[in-house]
Amino acid sequence: MNIRAALIERPGEDFHIETLELAEPRRDEALVRIAACGVCHTDDVARCGIIPVPLPAVFGHEGCGVVEALGPGMEDFSPGDRVLFSFGYCGTCENCRSGHPYACLHNRRLNFSGEHFDGSHRLSGNGKPVSAFFGQGAFAEYAVVHRHNLIPAPDDLPLELLAPLGCGIQTGAGAVLNYLKAEPGSSILITGCGAVGLSAVMAAVIAGCETIIACDVVPERLRLAKELGATHTLNGREVSDIPGAVRSLTDGCGVRYAVDCTGSGTCVRTSLICVRPLGVCAVVGATQELTIHVENELMGAAKTLGGVVEGCCVPQLFIPKLLEFHRRGRFPFDRLITYYPFAEINAAFADTKKGSVVKAVLKMSQ
């Protein structure tokens, strides 16, 4: 079938909406009419080549929509089912079988190779294969998606609201609730108050953290962090000594936990320095180079520096928990979202990059 999709043919270029060919779903796959898709930093770094993805490609990995058709083996789904998407995993490696699909041994191939689960392509243009990001390519009218990427969507919430849960929001919340397992009464620093960081702020409130310090350089985001439960905020452009400020808020000891969502090696190092002895710093942003003094800043204080992928969660189990927190008014992630028509995809990315919106979500039809 012919579909309209946002295509990238050269690294770093703007999206351009083109007509592509989408093949029928194969075994364990569903054809989904896309209702909405979140705009994620991972899409941006991948389209710029920082995370290698074969081009041409259709990005978008926070999709949601309605099942239109099913391939063989999909008896537990039906046409008309509402679904949202998350990351792909093999389901058979040691890490998947032990309940850690986010650390699947085939993660890179299933999410960044542009191929579908079976190693082939469903998208093509002018007879040539087109990559589908995360096995989805959800910046499009339709996508073919493997069953492992699918999460049933509840009927009591708008589909377009659910789109960003499948990556950014579950990542921030899961970093606090699943990886750190932050204890009630503890202290936490969250650096970078985009959608991931603000989700971590809300999760820290759920966890019962007593001191929640949010750090960013955008005043509007810091104001929102305070409204969502941060007890203190620090503007990195106004505070020259972030570790000193954090120590002053934590009896001179530093925080028990830190979550760095910036993707900046300098900020990761600062977050690690802000952690007290025996503390844990979780790196969530796609960070490249990092230089630390291991004895002074890590080993000598018995600290832990850990990488967090997709909130260390099983999306089919964790996303329903987040939605239940939302229903109870404890996880108001809807406050992060700004909607854009699909045709305004480049504006959505530009506004996200300059910080004027927290979480852009594209609606495929108006």
Domain residue spans of the chain: 2-166+332-363, 171-309
Q: Is the pLDDT of residue 155 over 80?
A: yes
Instruction: Please state, rounded to an integer, the average pLDDT across all residues of the chain.
Output: 96
Question: Is the pLDDT at 55 greater than 90, yes or no?
Answer: yes
DSSP states along 129-185: EEEEGGGT--SBSEEEEEGGGEEEPPTTS-HHHHGGGGTHHHHHHHIIIIII-PPTT
Rounded to the nearest 5°, which phi and psi values hold at 99?
A: 90, 20
Tokens of 263: 């993707």
Between 57-71, 161-175, 282-296, 314-328, the lowest mean confidence (pLDDT) is in 282-296
- CATH superfamily of this structure's domain 171-309: NAD(P)-binding Rossmann-like Domain (3.40.50.720)
Confidence of residue 154 (pLDDT cuts 50, 70, 90): very high
Nearest CA to 209 out of 171, 175, 242 is that of 175
Q: SS3 for 6?
A: strand
Predicted local confidence at residue 335, as pLDDT: 97
* 171-309 has the same fold as 2-166+332-363: no
Cα dihedral 201/286/12/345 (nearest 10):
-30
Kindly indicate the confidence band of residue 287, based on its pLDDT and cuts at 50, 70 and 90. confident
* Alpha-carbon gap, residue 148 to 269, rounded angstroms: 35
**Fold of domain 2-166+332-363:** Quinone Oxidoreductase; Chain A, domain 1 (3.90.180)
Can you name the residues that pair with 2 across neighbouring β-strands? 21
pLDDT value of residue 77: 97
Contacts of residue 18, defined as CB under 8 A and 6 or more positions apart, other chains included, come to 4, 5, 7, 125
Per-residue pLDDT band at 288 (split at 50, 70, 90)? confident
Structure tokens at 64: 């949601």
Alpha-carbon distance values, 36 to 83, 241, 365 (Å): 11, 41, 8
User: How many angstroms separate the Cα of 327 from the Cα of each of 239, 331, 334?
Assistant: 37, 8, 11
Backbone φ and ψ of 312, nearest 5°: 50, 45
What does the pLDDT average to over 23-33?
A: 98
Instruction: Give the predicted TM-score (pTM) of the model.
Output: 0.95
Q: How far apart are CA 189 and CA 172, in angstroms?
A: 13
Q: Report the range of poorest mean pLDDT among 40-54, 171-185, 186-200.
A: 40-54
Pairwise CA distance, residues 286 & 50, whole Å? 9
pLDDT digits (tens, 9 = 90+) for 244-264: 999 999 999 999 999 999 989
Buried b (16+ CB within 10 A) or exposed e, 91-121: eebebbeeebbbbbebbebbbbbbbbbeeeb
Nearest to 280 by CA among 360, 350, 199, 175: 175
- Average pLDDT in the 222-229 region? 98
C-alpha gyration radius of the chain: 20
- For residue 54, the model assigns a pLDDT of 97
Token look-up 């998350």 returns 86
- Report the number of secondary-structure helices (H) and strands (E) in the chain: 12, 18
Q: Which of 322, 264, 282 is nearest to 188 (CA)?
A: 282
Question: What pLDDT is stored for residue 363 in this prediction?
Answer: 97
Given a cut of 60, whether residue 285 has pLDDT beyond it is yes
Query: Is the predicted pLDDT of residue 146 greater than 60, yes or no?
Result: yes
Residue 337, φ and ψ in degrees, nearest 5 = -95, 135
Q: What share of the chain is helix, strand, coil (3-state, %, to 5)?
A: 35, 25, 40
pLDDT value for 215: 98
pLDDT of residue 366: 52
What would the pLDDT profile of 314-355 be if each residue is shown by its tens digit? 999 999 999 999 999 999 999 999 999 999 999 999 999 988
The three-state (H, E, C) secondary structure of 295-363, written as one string: HHHCHHHCCEEEECCHHHCCHHHHHHHHHHHHHCCCCCHHHHEEEEEHHHHHHHHHHHHHCCCCEEEEE
